[in-house]
Amino acid sequence: MRWRKLGLVWKPDGTRPWARTHAMGPTPWRLSPDVIRVFVTCLDAQGRGRPGYVDVAAADPTRVLGSSIEAVLDVGVPGAFDDNGLMAISFVEPSPGTLWMYFAGFELCHHIRYRILSGVAVSHDRGESFKRLSRAPVLDRSDEELYFRGGPFALIDDGEFRLWYVAGSEWLDIGGKAMPVYDLRHQSSPDGLSFGPSGTLSMAITGDDEHGFGRPWVLKRGPTDYQLFYSVRRRSLAAYRLGYAESDDGIHWRRNDAAMGLDVSPGSFDSDAIMYSAVIDVDGRTYCFYNGNNFGEHGFAVAELLR
């Protein structure tokens, strides 16, 4: 693949209490023929994430049409799995007029730095606001996946809910800092809310350098043609890079990271890191929304696929 970077699109101006900094994990959803709604997670003064949205023109995704004044979902109640922030990851429409948000919730811990578990919220106003379907996570900790069950990407595939997510039960010391270790898992569900204690290992980290995947994004191009866009974290870089894989069934993946063709740019906002790719087809064009250095500190960007 060959991409043309179109540049940064948006970052918060710091005037809204829930959105002082960052625009993490840009997640595009087609609001109308003319508008792409890009959900992003911004940070407050305490570093807690809440999702909002930025509307951009479908014909030119660098042109901002508007943004949410308030967060579409607040942090969880004290003691909940998402009381220290949440990050929108993916959206599905189980029925007309109903939009589900799958999100990762962050909980600070005492003996480990944090836990990440996953929840679901619903909107009946086309993404203007969401309400949790449960205050408890749909992917709760388990013996097999103890600390991390996050990054949930949902897809309704031939009437079945499928979920790709990252999971792990280990921390690793890298340069004196505890870092999470997780790989890619897969589960199916009849209702999108009922999941087992462990998923099928779908893609494992490889070698000594990799220690985690970030935010899977799956496109189904045909009955036996799946594409996976993701981020991979390496010790040697101390940062994310983008990866790419293909599959016949959405479970067993053939990695080909070199084929992604979208990498860092020296001297730019993505000079040290590039992450959280989200790919959408729009009227014969394909766009990739993504973040650069420091998890979207400079905002989110977009690139267009040339071939």
User: How much of the chain exceeds pLDDT 70, in percent?
Assistant: 100
* Model confidence, pTM: 0.97
Q: Among positive and negative, which fits the CA dihedral 239, 244, 250, 253?
A: negative
How many domains does the chain contain in total?
Answer: 1
Q: Which residue has the tokens 């959280």?
A: 276
Domain CATH for 138: 2.115.10.20
- For residue range 171-185, list pLDDT tens digits in order: 988 888 898 999 999
Count of residues for the chain?
307
Cα 144 to Cα 135, 197, 198, 200, 251: the distances in Å are: 22, 7, 6, 11, 18
For residue 259, what are the domain limits?
A: 3-305
Cα Rg of the chain, angstroms: 18
Quote the distance between the C-alpha of residue 14 and its chain's center: 23
- For residue range 49-93, list pLDDT tens digits in order: 999 999 999 999 999 999 999 999 999 999 999 999 999 999 999
Whether the predicted pLDDT of 262 surpasses 80: yes
At residue 191, the pLDDT reads 96
Report whether 279 contacts 299 (CB < 8 A): no
Whether the predicted pLDDT of 237 surpasses 90: no
